[in-house]
Amino acid sequence: MAPTSLPIQKVKNIALVAHDHKKKDLIEWAQWNKPVLQSHNIYATGTTGRLLEDVLEMRITKFQSGPLGGDQQIGAFITEGKIDFLIFFWDPLEPQPHDPDVKALLRIALVWNIPTACNRATADFLISSMLMEKPYQRIVQDFTDYQQRRI
């Protein structure tokens, strides 16, 4: 399976997701990084998206809430190349009724090699990277051979 290179443009498509107990952290983080985030396209699940619109004072593309399929919608956008970057403040100590969806979203982000932060420290490092200001070529494994073997 040969790798292929997929572009991430200068203006990133960033998905912001947070579990209930982490929404406050994500909102504070977004407010702190408002100038950077306003220069990108922001996507979010349900309630998180509505809260972010107020804080960031910009239009957010909103999906369903996570338990209603929002995590899966973001995962689909990742596979279609429509999401470049994932900030997902998830709560590892709180059981989630949609835990399989959460794990699937994180797996998709890893498979498609998009930058992913699951906590504030990692999000700080990613958002402050010099790569945020320019295009980037991410390497993604070509799964054609894998798919053909599975048929």
The H or E element spanning position 134 is none
Among 91, 89, 83, which residue's Cα sits nearest to residue 113? 83
54, 71, 101, 145: the catalytic one is 71
- 105 burial type by CB count under 10 A (0-12 exposed, 13-18 middle, 19+ buried): buried
| Alpha-helix runs per DSSP H in 57-119 | 70-79, 99-111
Please say if 71 is a catalytic residue. yes
By three-state DSSP, how is residue 143 classified? coil
What angle (nearest 5°) sits at the alpha carbon of residue 114, between those of residues 57 and 116? 65
Catalytic sites, residue numbers:
71
